[in-house]
Structure 1
Amino acid sequence: MSLLYALLIGAIAGWLAGKLMKDGGFGVLFNIVLGIIGGIVGSWAFKTLGVSLSGGVIGDIITGAIGAIIILFIAGLLKK
């Protein structure tokens, strides 16, 4: 069940990040992967900054989307 949860949250977070970032959409599969990795990056960034979001699905989606946006931003810098 936790794998299905991670895939669903990752898909939503990756899709959201792709919509928020210019040229951020890379397709459904990559957006799922990006959202899952974004959740890890977002959790690390929030922990480092001392920021805490309330738990639950919405907090997980926000964390994953912010982490995915960070990844997309860095990828955009490296692409130039």
Structure 2
Amino acid sequence: MGWLAAIIVGGIAGWLAEQFMKSNMGLLANILLGIVGAVLFNFIFGSLLGLYAAGASFSFAYLLAGFVGACILIAIARAVRGRA
């Protein structure tokens, strides 16, 4: 996936995760959560189950991977902040 497409799809995935998890993040955090979330999803689920979200410039699989990964990252951040 190209950088521009990754930023756009990552931003959408991060924003969707923010809305779903009822979190309050900014635009940059949404983009980072979406991109890092997709990488996290591909690493975890690719290693364990053989599921990969690869695709062209825009793919629903990458959007879904970014959304799921971003939700996981938000949940982890909430757990860490709750303990600290």
TM-score bucket (shorter structure) = 0.7 to 0.9
Supply the AA of the counterpart residue of 2:36: I
Query: CA RMSD for the aligned pairs?
Result: 1.8
Separation in 2 of the partners of 1:75 and 1:16?
17
2:17 aligns with: 17
1:47 aligns with: 46
Consecutive unaligned residues of structure 2, counting only runs of 5 or more, are none
CA contact (8 A) 1:15 1:25 kept: no
What are the superposed Cα offsets for residues 25-54 of structure 1, whole Å, 9 maximum, x if unpaired? Answer: 301111011111111111112112315266
Query: Is 1:30 paired with 2:29?
Result: yes
Separation in 2 of the partners of 1:36 and 1:52?
17
Q: Which moved more, 1:7-16 or 1:49-58?
A: 49-58
CA contact (8 A) 1:25 1:31 kept: no
Equivalent pairs, count: 79
Question: Percent of counterpart pairs with the same letter?
Answer: 37
Consecutive unaligned residues of structure 1, counting only runs of 5 or more, are none
Separation in 2 of the partners of 1:66 and 1:54?
11
Supply the AA of the counterpart residue of 2:47: T
TM-score by length of 1: 0.87
